């Protein structure tokens, strides 16, 4: 089995992610996911301002397969109109284009699944004493059908649509998805 190694992301690893590429065949979101980890004003800024944790996932030979991030966010939970609760949030998650669908052997756990399972395990192991509701959230571009299918297979369910303030794409909404822990 091809098990990924995880390492904490920090500024000295920016050269390691300089060529990270999720591709762009599926939509602009792939470019955004690629840029977030490469840009010092993306992942590193989120780590500093929002206390987001970011990890790189590599093969034993050191090749970068992808990355994942986990932090917290305020959402109206458990439904619209509820008071804001602090929930776990996955701001960005990416797998390099040439590692998508890999490994593809029988009995192999795909890299995307390994990364997501690790992020969920991190949320479950979050230090006690933090006032965080045991729910993991994320946003996904509603036009990214393959990502929505993947997240649903991981146990996430649709929660709400929201236009993010940073997004000015006409007709585009981000679907909020939740996974109770």
User: Which pLDDT score, from 0 to 100, does residue 75 have?
Assistant: 85
Residue 24 has pLDDT above 90, yes or no: no
Query: Which residue is listed with tokens 């959230």?
Result: 137
The residues, ordered by sequence, that sit 6+ positions from 51 with a Cβ below 8 Å of its Cβ are: 71, 72
Per-residue DSSP letter, 26:
S
Tell me the pLDDT tens digit for each residue of 37-93.
Answer: 999 899 999 999 988 999 999 999 999 999 999 999 888 888 878 898 889 999 999
The ranges assigned to domains in the chain are: 5-180
Query: Which residue is listed with tokens 């990214």?
Result: 144
User: Which pLDDT score, from 0 to 100, does residue 167 have?
Assistant: 57
Q: Could you tell me if residue 32 is left (phi over 0), alpha (psi between -120 and 50 degrees) or otherwise beta?
A: alpha
Q: What is the pTM of this model?
A: 0.89
Q: Which CATH number is 5-180 given?
A: 3.40.630.30
Tell me the pLDDT tens digit for each residue of 94-131.
Answer: 999 999 989 988 888 999 999 999 999 999 998 755 67
Cis peptide before 103 (omega within 30 of 0): yes
Query: CA-based angle 38:39:40, to the nearest 5?
Result: 115
Per-residue DSSP letter, 143:
T
For residue 54, report the phi and psi dihedrals to the nearest 5 degrees.
-135, 135
User: Which pLDDT score, from 0 to 100, does residue 13 have?
Assistant: 96
Render the burial of 129-163: b for 16+ CB within 10 Å, e for the rest.
eeebbebbbbbbbebbeebbebbeebebeebbeee
Residues linked to residue 175 through DSSP beta bridges, in sequence order: 140, 161
Tell me the pLDDT tens digit for each residue of 136-146.
Answer: 999 888 778 88
C-alpha span between 136 and 156 (Å, rounded): 8
């Amino acid at each position: 089995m091809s098990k990924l190694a995880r390492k904490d992301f920090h500024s000295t690893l920016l050269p390691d992610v300089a060529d990270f590429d999720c591709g762009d065949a599926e939509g602009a979101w792939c470019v955004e996911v690629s840029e977030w980890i490469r840009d010092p004003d993306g992942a590193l800024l989120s780590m500093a301002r929002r206390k987001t944790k970011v990890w790189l996932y590599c093969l034993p030979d050191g090749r970068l397969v992808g990355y994942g991030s986990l932090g917290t966010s305020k959402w109206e939970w458990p439904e619209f109109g509820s008071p804001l609760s602090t929930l776990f949030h996955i701001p960005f998650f990416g797998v390099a284009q040439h590692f998508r669908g890999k490994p593809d052997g029988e009995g192999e756990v795909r890299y995307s699944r390994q990364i997501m399972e690790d992020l969920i395990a991190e949320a479950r192991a979050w230090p006690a004493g933090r006032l965080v509701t045991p729910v993991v959230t994320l946003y996904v571009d509603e036009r990214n059908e393959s990502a929505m299918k993947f997240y649903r297979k991981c146990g996430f369910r649709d929660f709400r649509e929201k236009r993010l303030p940073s997004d000015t794409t006409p007709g585009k909404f981000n679907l909020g998805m939740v996974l109770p822990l």
